[in-house]
Structures are given as C-alpha cells and as structure tokens.
Chains A and B, each alone.
Chain A
C-alpha cells in the first residue's frame, strides 16, 4: 500500500487515466475537486511521522486488521475512510496504543513513531500518549469544570509553565474561548454537544502533542457543530499532524490532504493524495465505495 504513496509521476499517470474514462464517475462525491490539476504536485514530500509495517490486529481469533503498510506524513490531515467495521478505529487505536486496554486485542508487526517502534519493550504507552493526543467519537469531557478539563493533561504531565495561559490558548485554538471565557468554572457537561467536542479538542491539544488522532469526531454532532469542528481541523493541521477517521466521504474530501481507504476485512486497500483517491482511485472496489455503490 505504501507504494501507492503518491509521487509526482503516479499522480500525472492517474490524471491522464482519469480524463479518459472514469473521470465524471469518480469525481462525483466532492465539489471541491473541480480543479483538474492537483496542487499537491508543487508541495515537497513531507516527513513521515507514523509508519506501519505489516501491522496486524487480532481480537481473539478474529483478524481485524490485515497487514497494513503505510506512511503518514507530518503536518497534514490524513483521513481514514471505509465502511463500518472495516478496522478504521482499530488502526487508529494502534497508533497511541489504546488497543492495550482491550484485553482481547493482539497487535502484530510494527508501528513506528518517528522511527521508534511504539510496540517495542522500551516504549511506555503513557509517554507515547503524551505525544499523541486523541479525540473520541462521542464527546467525553470529564465531569469537572471547563478549566479543569483543559488543564488535566497539563497537570498530570507536570507542565511547569503558566497553566492559565495554556488553558486559554488551547481554548482559543479550539475555537471555544469566546463562548466559555466567562464560565470556566462551570461543568464541562453543561455545554452543548458541539461545544463539548471542541472542549475535548482543547483538552487534547493543551499538552501540545505532535499528532492528534480523531475517531469520527463529528459523527455525534449536528451539521452546524460539524462545520465548526471541520474548520477547526483545518486550522489544527497548520500546527499538528491530524489523523481522522470518518465515515463521511464528503468530509474526508473537504478536510484531508491524504486519504487511506480500508475495506471490509480490515484491509488497507488504497492510500494516497485525497484528490487523486477521489478522482481516480486505482482499486475498483475503492471506486465503487467512493461512488456509493456499497458501504
């Protein structure tokens, strides 16, 4: 799969193929894909943050992830899409070792973060999770004040700077500050669902991780809140590497630079620039999935 990591050549090839046959079919899902010249071509290839090598996951005897090989670039938004149950969350949870919490889960192969296998003996998952923040599908603020929610990560990580300032900065970056600045002491649970999710994003970015994992962060939100979170993800990508699972293909097309497509059986079928994946997928089943023939 990593071989489909788009190089300039490949993109040009698929462009040509695209304009001849499957063009209109493949382009249907996203309005943002109007321009025929993908802009990625000018951007130099980014450094790899996360690299999976033959990464597999079994739940008991059930194989949830077939060997995954992929390299995820830094400071970009990578979208993980695919039908439900295809292993998107499972893959995401491998990255910060949240699968450790699932008794039945067994991880095989390697997952490297900046070159270090996070499943190596010397890696403490707690330290790993301090570098890799996570936002979950359902907003899950602590039943504490808004302030304490954001400050929690700073406190347990022994942050020795100005916590107040960091809380404010994080809330600003999460586009929530103006809405909550006068009620920092009230419970995080009193916020609306969309605000709660942005609070969770603020909590995740407060300790300044390098990577932020998001598992369908907008799926429990209404369209307005979803739009806000999407805008936010766009901004976050300037500072952080964002890896986001979504079942919403329009969303993936709108917000991501790279897209990884998992299909049923836990197989990473295609990975590459979002524009190319949506305009001209190499794999027929990916095309069928993207054009809505199944899934």
Chain B
C-alpha cells in the first residue's frame, strides 16, 4: 500500500492532489519490474516468524505428551480388563477366590462398592449443592464488599489446595468421633463435601458473577426484592454454570481414596450400604460402606495374578462413571451456552 501510493505520487504532477492514479497502470509505467513494496517495513520479520513456528511446535509437542500418556494408560487398562467387565461383575459382591470372577463362575464383582460410591456421590452432591451454592450466593449477591469478605474468599481459595488426607483427618475428628456418625456413609459423604466445597463455592461464584448486572437491575427496576432477583433472574442464568462446576468437582470426589481411608471406610464389603425398610431399599446412612477406589486397591494388592484383571475391570467401571459425569457437565454447558 505504502509503496504503490508513493510511486504514484512521483508520477503525479505537483499540486494535483485530487487526481486519482489509475490503479496499477501508474506503477507499471514507473519501473516495469515490481520492487517489493514491503522490503523496508520494520526489522527482521522472517526471523520472528521462525521463532513463532518453533514456539507452536513446542506447544503442540507438550499437548501430544499428555495425550499419548493418557491413551497408553487407557489402552493398558482396557486390555487388562478385556472380557472381565461382565454383568456379573457389576451385580455381584467381591470374593477372595479368583474362580468366582471367571465368566461362567459363581459370580463376583464390584456391586457393593459401586452402590457405595454412587450413594456417596449422590449424598455429597446434595450437601455441596446446598452448602456450596448457598455460600456462593451469599458471598456474591448479599455480602457487601469488605475486608472480611476478601479474607474469607482468599481462604476459600486456599482451602481448595489443601491435601485431601487433611480433610480425611478433619472428617475423622468431626463427623466420625465428635458428631458420633461412626465409620459410616454419612461421615464419608460429609467429608467429601468438605473436600470439594471450596471448589464448588469458587466455581459457583464465577457462574453468578457471569450473570450481567443489567439483568439484576431489570428485575430490581420493576420492584423485585433481593430474594426475587436471585430466584427469578440470577439463579436460572447461573444454574448451568453452577451445575457444570459441581459435577466436575463431584467427579473428582468419586475417585478420592485418602479421605475415605481416614474416616474408616471398608476396603472391601460384601453388602451394599442399603437397608430394607418394609420392602423399600433405602441408603443405610449410618452403616459401613465400601467405595470403588478402595475396592480396586484391595484387588490390586492381592497376590494372585488374575486379580490384576479384576482391578482393571474395576478401574474401567470407575472411569466409565467419571466419563459419564463429565459428559453430563459438558452437555449442560453446551445446551445453555447457545442461549
């Protein structure tokens, strides 16, 4: 651009500012051969572009390392588990005898731990939704900006980084011993709730913050109360984001082992934590329970070689549930993002 206009300037008679050069014609009559009009633009662009390409290559390689590691891991587990994830595996309690796991055997599997994990996560979901979303709404919608609020928020973020074993210790002291829940499903769920609460609060706060103020003002403008603004405007808009954050946190909780060991969950249980109350199965909140990660660990340390396959089958079940949860989160996000 610069080059062509300056060359046409040369050809133009002085003072004839308004004369329009006839496009390329002017340039061609000047020199015949095209000079590179960008030859003198800036410094060594070529060199910078090369650095850019190297940078992209490094980034791509980093991505590749992660993906390759994941694929190898998954392939290894899937190969180990191949043929071992059967209907019996999902519906029978574990056994000490490897023959029972063979297809056509008496049947043995992950059922009590599967049910334990699902109940654990369901309870945790209820607790975190109430506590986490409640706290986030309070901090985001009600609490005035103050040093105290800043202090609390900073500490919530810090809590998100505390190792899970510490939450296990806390759960043991508070829920198992002090509250007297014993080594129960309830104590386990409350402990996992504490563990993911900080993340749920922070992600819910982000979802609430993403609701534009103009929406709140619109509701206040027609005479809505604080509560009506939250209920009718803020929560409906923020809910997809809150759900996504909560589900992702729960899928982290479902794989947790350390805090459950601390609160004394059984490594292997023959019975699912379900009671029969006049014919209706209800979760046995105060009874002992096993969860999948611990059951898998239990299998993995058994000496008989084939138990490695059983452990892999357990991992496949755990990963499937995890994938299912994450897929749900992504679906929710995509469904509402277009709005």
Contacts and interface: CB of A to CB of B under 8 A. Distances in A.
B237 interface: yes
A206 B222 CA distance: 9
B224 A138 contact: no
A126 interface: yes
A101 to B, nearest CB: 7
Contacts of B233: 142
Interface in B109-168: 144-145
Contacts of A203: 218, 222
Contacts of B145: 103
B223 interface: yes
Interface in B18-51: none
Contacts of B275: none
B222 A204 contact: yes
Interface string A130-159: 100111101011110000000011001100
Interface residues of B, number: 21
A98 interface: yes
Interface in B206-259: 212, 214-225, 228, 232-233, 236-237
B335 interface: no
A130 B232 CA distance: 17
Contacts of A224: none
20 contacts: A98-B217, A98-B220, A101-B220, A129-B220, A133-B221, A134-B221, A136-B221, A138-B214, A140-B217, A141-B218, A143-B236, A143-B339, A152-B232, A156-B222, A156-B225, A156-B228, A189-B339, A200-B218, A206-B222, A207-B223
A167 B71 CA distance: 58
Given A103-B144, A140-B218, 17 more contacts: A98-B221, A101-B217, A101-B220, A127-B223, A133-B222, A136-B214, A140-B215, A140-B217, A141-B218, A142-B233, A143-B236, A153-B222, A189-B339, A200-B218, A203-B218, A206-B222, A207-B223
Which among B223, B233, B236 has the highest number of chain A CB atoms within 10 Å? B223
Contacts of A153: 222-223
A56 interface: no
A203 B220 CA distance: 12
B339 to A, nearest CB: 6
A152 B219 contact: yes
A229 to B, nearest CB: 17
Interface of B: 144-145, 212, 214-225, 228, 232-233, 236-237, 339
Interface of A: 96, 98, 101, 103, 126-127, 129-130, 133-136, 138, 140-143, 152-153, 156-157, 189, 200, 203-204, 206-207
A156 B228 CA distance: 8
A211 B294 CA distance: 66
Interface of B, secondary structure class, is helix
Contacts of A96: 221
B339 A126 contact: no
Nearest to B218: A140
Nearest to B228: A156
Contacts of B219: 142, 152
B33 to A, nearest CB: 50
Contacts of A98: 217, 220-221
* The 5 A-B residue pairs with the shortest CB-CB distance in the complex, in nearest-first order: A153-B222, A130-B223, A134-B221, A140-B214, A129-B223
A135 B339 CA distance: 23
Contacts of A156: 222-225, 228, 232
Contacts of B225: 126, 156
Contact of A207 (B217, B222, B232, B339): B222
A136 B223 contact: no
Nearest to B233: A142
Nearest to B226: A126
B223 A126 contact: yes
A124 to B, nearest CB: 9
Contacts of A127: 223
A142 B218 contact: yes
Contact of B237 (A129, A143, A204): A143
B316 to A, nearest CB: 40
Contacts of A207: 222-223
B218 A129 contact: no
Contacts of B232: 152, 156
A204 B223 CA distance: 10
A136 B144 contact: no
Contacts of A133: 221-222
A136 B218 CA distance: 8
Contacts of B214: 136, 138, 140
Given A103-B145, A156-B232, A142 B215 contact: yes
A64 B283 CA distance: 60
Contacts of A129: 220-223
A200 B215 CA distance: 11
Contacts of B220: 98, 101, 129
Contacts of A140: 212, 214-215, 217-218
A200 B214 CA distance: 12
Contacts of B215: 140, 142
Nearest to A155: B232
A207 B221 CA distance: 11
Given A143-B237, A143-B339, A157-B223, A136 B217 contact: yes
